[in-house]
Amino acid sequence: ANAHYRLGNYPPALEYCSQSRSLYEELKDKRNMARCMNRIGTIYKNQQNYKQALDALNESFNLYTTTNDSGGIAVSSNNLGETYRNTGDYTTALRYFQQTFALDSALQDTASMAQDAANIGETYRRLKQYDMARRSLLQALQLGGDALSRSEILTGLARLYY
């Protein structure tokens, strides 16, 4: 499933993820069921099938919540934020990105926190709240990350000025 996903071969990736999810359900393995549903949700998101993406991601989020998996909750929350942002529901997206930032902060995952702050900044930009966007993007830059992440954050800052 992962190889097909990375290659953009979504139909077989969906099929394999669905089969995996069914097997994990038989095993009553909620954490891996959540992981499968998260992947299914991101596939639907990438295909711009947002209703099915939200359904799968909400299931993933709920399963991770029942297993108290903070990292998994953060990943699902971030993907929900991205999906809502893609639909133009920036207020809901912002709420999920802020939740993700809080979870990643508790986990002391600074690389994820930088990405979360960048997502928050981009969402504020789309809401035309430029001061908040700038603050969030500067926070993301301060948190660091790899060179690619920093370049994306700088590009986000530049977008505020054109």
DSSP string, 63-107: HHHHTT-HHHHHHHHHHHHHHHHHHT-HHHHHHHHHHHHHHHHHT
- Nearest 5°: phi and psi at 144? 95, -140
pLDDT score, position 149: 83
Q: What is the pLDDT of residues 10-22, one digit of tens each?
A: 888 899 999 999 9
The CB-side HSE value for 67 (13 A sphere, CA atoms) comes to 19
pLDDT score at 145: 73
pLDDT of residue 1: 62
pLDDT-derived band at 9, boundaries 50, 70, 90: low
Tens of pLDDT, residues 98-156: 999 999 999 999 999 999 999 999 999 999 999 999 999 999 999 987 777 889 899 99
The tokens of 25 are what? 């359900």
